[in-house]
Amino acid sequence: MDTAPEAPLPPGLRALQRLVVTLIVVMIVGFLVLIGALVMRLNADGPPLPDSLQLPEGARATAFTQGGDWLAIVTGDDRILIYDRLTGRLRQTLRIDAR
């Protein structure tokens, strides 16, 4: 069975074809850049943390958060313990009032 030769595309469709191929290439490159940036961000080291923190006697940690130069631990007995990020020294204790 013989196939008929294909007719050349009109100039408008040829330009549209080039545009679509260019957009596909740009989207693939953009997606690869996005994945690369995500991988680099996830492999980056986090902020420095002390090796250990000494909780007061009987305190049980239920939540943790951090700021620029401090760490905070919420305990099960409704206290917030704020520690220095670099030294691990207890800076402040806040009592949470139950209403």
Q: Show pLDDT as tens, one digit a residue, over the chain (99 residues).
A: 567 778 888 888 999 999 999 999 999 999 999 999 999 999 988 777 777 888 888 889 999 998 888 999 999 988 999 999 888 889 999 998 876
Closest CA relative to residue 85, chosen from 46, 52, 49, 45: 49
Residues 54 and 67 in one domain: yes
Q: Is residue 3 situated within a structural domain?
A: no
55 and 91: one domain? yes
User: Rounded to an integer, what distance in angstroms lies between the CA atom of residue 79 and that of residue 46?
Assistant: 26
Output the pTM of the full model.
0.55
Order of all β-strands in the sheet with 90-95: 61-66, 70-75, 79-84, 90-95
> Whole domain around residue 40: which residue ranges?
9-44
Is 2 within a domain?
A: no
